[in-house]
Structure 1
Amino acid sequence: MWLYLAVVLVGLYLLRRWHRERQTVPRLSEKYVLITGCDSGFGNLLAQQLDARGLRVLAACLTSSGAAQLRAAASPRLQTVLLDVTSSQSIATATAWVRECVGDRGLWGLVNNAGIAIPTAPNEWLTKDDFVKVLDVNLVGLIEVTLSLLPLVRQARGRVVNVASVMGRVSFFGGGYCISKYGVEAFSDSLRLEMRSFGVKVSVIEPGYFKTMITNTEILENNFLSIWEKLPGEIKASYGENYLKQFLVTFRKMQKRYNSNLTLVTDCMEHALTSRYPRTRYSAGWDAKLIYIPLSYLPSALTDVVFTWLSPIPAWKA
């Protein structure tokens, strides 16, 4: 009897959740959404997706060519602006432009999507500047863009959607990328608590491994090789040429498992912007749901065993 009761209660809970998540906010055609990193990947697809749904998309691109290509693929409603999230002046200029566009309506949605992954390599191979380059885009730039536009989001009682990663839950490779995504998670949590009183909702997107420009195989392999060539002889000797070869083999195997269906991620972003009851966190991709997020709840001793098993062996230990 108790088992049947538990099944009924779980079913009612899931039905209620399904019903709540299908409810959308009214007058979407009047709402402005700014998306960063729209030259390619998730940002580019989301801009077109929201534009097709009738929202007023303000697409921030790093390059003029990226902006022109996006405008050509979208409706006249979509507007673009050039934005370098590592430049305070560029952020200030874009903020003034957004304020002029939205007027008294405020900014309904801010999607912090811009990000980079390289330089990445084992931590000892990298310099402070290598870490800073990634952190400036993925974390510090995200924070500055958010702080600059937050008054407009508060005015609209809107949404902030930050793109993190499953690598903000578990970290098994070096460089600034995983560090930055852990930071995005922490910033989003504190911001969500602070903004509750203002009616602003903050969501985090945690994609698994998807095929985008930042996961481009050739670019990432060239990144590894160029870093290796610059290493001091003592470090090369400690790791060994075979370590680099194993590292690249493991990396290529991972590349074969990427997901090319980017809509799995952009659908989460769209739901976070348009649902009356958005989720706090969205995981996208089978690997996120079935591997990385479950691993993040395991004791460190177990996750260390899993990731060490997948890692190459340095020369001194071979």
Structure 2
Amino acid sequence: MMDDYTLPFWIYLVVLSVFVGGAMKKILASHLTTAPPLVAWLGLACCLYSAVRTRTSPATLPVRGKAVFVTGCDSGFGKATAKQLDAMGFEVFATVLDLSADGARDLQRTCSTHLTLLQVDITQPQQVQQALLDTKAKLGPRGLWGLVNNAGVCVNFGDAELSLMSNYRGCMEVNFFGTLSITKSFLPLLRQARGRIVTISSPAGDQPFPCLAAYGASKAALNLFTDTLRHELEPWGVHVSTILPSSYKTGQASNHTYWEQQHKQLLQSLAPALLEDYGEDYMTETKELFQSHARQANPDLSPVIHTIVQALLSPQPQARYFAGPGIGLMYFIHRYFPFSLSNRFLQKLFMKKKLMPRALRKQSGFDLNLGLHNNNNNTDNAEEEKLKQL
């Protein structure tokens, strides 16, 4: 017998097929010259999807008696999640890097006694193990219902060739190895409760965002690990979900001083020949574009927090959640459009660079001068031929 929400979902599929079919027909008929109408059609289809899924979702599971461990609660998604879960009645274990910092003090001041603050750097195995022992002591014989892997970092920015090896290692150490360490350590408690793992990742782990190679590579490794874990934990009754947010103001995103320091460090660390090839003005433009993108990011974190709660309490959580406007459309274009078009869409959406690297600018100027010189020579030769004929 079908569930009450199955029939409307199939109706949604039929309606979505009509929209997508019409969009593809427009593509073929106009040879990709109707981009704005196409985006409007797909946007409407995504909105219809969200509305139907929200309406047809089954009732959520009860909160009572459930404990959740959340990493990276100093600020951003982690801090907001810890507050929301505490307000809902969860027993919350929230990790911070510094118990005396503003974020930790705010959680202590505003949350109930059911929230436990733990000072944990997820890249330090001893601190992870101590957090596990502290959590076990509080839980007693109970298992852990949820693990929210939120802690992450975006170290530096810039072209892949310009990114320092320390940047690649820094991103991998936190975003991948740190999350891996936490997850492996707490899995016995999660299996005991047949609970949930919710990991905050990024579209940069699936799509080639310009100037985010170090960050994107670490998130790509995290995505693959999470997808593999989902299959392996299914027999244990543990559900694994990945959340892919759009652009939000979190962490150091709006910290002007932080980005200036990162930029200065990069300039000082690059080999002189590499700095000459790219040019300081090229790298400065990249920094300014990142800062502009950060200023335009959404300060309202509620769509992501709501999605985390949904993944923790839904009887049948999704494998992947798109949290925020435009993410579903971005993935649709990435998956179904030709690479040349999806790549161009991504570049226009994220980094609208105007400058080329200095060496390419010089080369372009040389080619232009050479072309003008050749044209002048051709004109002179043509004049000589005419004179000979006379």
1:277 alignment partner in structure 2? 316
Contact 1:259 1:285 in 2 (8 A): no
Q: 1:67, 1:209 → 2: CA distance?
A: 24
- 2:228 aligns with one of 181, 190, 193: 190
2:294 is aligned with 1:255: yes
Q: Distance in 2 between matches of 1:64 and 1:193?
A: 36
- Determine whether 1:142 maps to 2:179: yes
Q: What's the secondary structure of 2:114's corresponding residue?
A: coil
1:118–1:220 contact (8 Å) kept in structure 2:
no
Quote the Cα distance in structure 2 between the aligned partners of 1:35 and 1:107: 11
CA contact (8 A) 1:206 1:283 kept: yes
Q: Mean Cα displacement is larger for which, 31-40 or 99-108?
A: 99-108
Inter-partner Cα distance in structure 2 for 1:8 and 1:281: 17
Is 2:148–2:198's contact at 8 Å kept on the other side of the alignment?
yes
C-alpha RMSD over aligned residues: 2.3
Q: 2:356 aligns to what?
A: 313
Give 1:113 deviation, angstroms. 0.3
- Larger radius of gyration, structure 1 or 2? 2
Q: Which amino acid aligns with 1:314?
A: P
Structure 1 runs not aligned, ≥5 long: 1-5
Asked if 1:245 corresponds to 2:284, the answer is yes
The answer to whether the Cα contact below 8 Å between 1:207 and 1:283 also exists between their aligned partners in 2 is: yes
Equivalent residue runs for 1:122-137 within 5 Å: 122-137=159-174
Q: What is the match of residue 75 of structure 2?
A: 40
Q: Do residues 180 (structure 1) and 218 (structure 2) align?
A: yes
Structure 2's unaligned 5+ residue stretches are 1-6, 15-48, 362-390
Kindly indicate whether the alpha-carbon contact (under 8 Å) linking 1:20 and 1:276 is maintained by their aligned counterparts in 2: no
Change in 2 beyond 3 A, CA 1:12/1:316 = closer
Report the equivalent of 1:55: 90
Which of 336, 339, 360 does residue 300 from structure 1 map onto?
339
Deviation at 1:43, TM superposition (A): 0.5
The answer to whether 1:206 aligns with 2:244 is yes
Answer whether contact 2:259 2:287 (CA < 8 A) is retained: no
Inter-CA distance 239–306: structure 2 relative to 1 (3 Å threshold): farther
CA distance in 2, matches of 1:231, 1:18: 50
- Cα deviation, residue 269, structure 1: 0.5
SS of the equivalent of 1:211 reads coil
Query: CA-to-partner distance for each residue in 1:147-199, whole Å, 9 max, x for gaps?
Result: 00000000000000011011122122234211111112111110000111111
In 2, Cα distance between equivalents of 1:8 and 1:192: 24
CA shift, 1:249, in A, is 3.6
> Structure 1: how far apart are the matches of 2:264 and 2:80?
31
Moved more, 231-240 or 150-159: 231-240
* Contact kept in structure 1, 2:254 and 2:291, CA below 8 Å: no
Q: Contact between 2:9 and 2:56, CA under 8 Å: does it hold in 1?
A: no
**Is the 2:8–2:56 contact (alpha carbons within 8 Å) kept by the matching residues of 1?**
no
Separation in 2, partners of 1:97, 1:148? 13
Change (3 A) 1:217 1:175: farther
Alignment partner of 1:159 out of 179, 182, 196: 196
Q: Which residue does 1:3 correspond to in 2?
A: none
For residues 280-318 of structure 1, the C-alpha deviation after alignment (integer angstroms, 9 at most, x for no partner) is 11111214233x323421333323334556334111222
Q: Is the 8 A contact 1:23 1:277 kept in 2?
A: no
Deviates more, 1:168-177 or 1:158-167: 168-177
Alignment partners' CA distance in 2, 1:75 and 1:169 = 38
Amino acid at match of 1:25: L
Stretch moving more, 228-237 or 248-257: 248-257
Aligned residues of 2:61 and 2:313 also touching (Cα < 8 A): yes
Identity of aligned residues (%): 33
Match of 2:11 in 1: 10
Are 2:124 and 1:87 equivalent residues in the alignment? yes
Mean Cα deviation higher: 74-83 or 281-290: 281-290
Question: How many Å separate the matches in 2 of 1:48 and 1:117?
Answer: 24
User: Higher mean Cα deviation, 107-116 or 60-69?
Assistant: 60-69
Say yes or no: does 1:25 pair with 2:61: yes
State the structure with bigger RCO (CA 8 A, min sep 6), 1 or 2: 1
Q: Distance in 1 between matches of 2:201 and 2:132?
A: 22
1:275–1:306: structure 2 CA closer, same or farther, 3 Å change rule? closer
Change beyond 3 A, Cα 1:24–1:7: closer
CA contact (8 A) 1:209 1:287 kept: no
Query: Would the aligned equivalents of 2:146 and 2:312 in 1 still touch at CA under 8 Å?
Result: yes
SS of residue paired to 1:24: coil
Letter in 2 for 1:304: N
Letter in 2 for 1:46: T
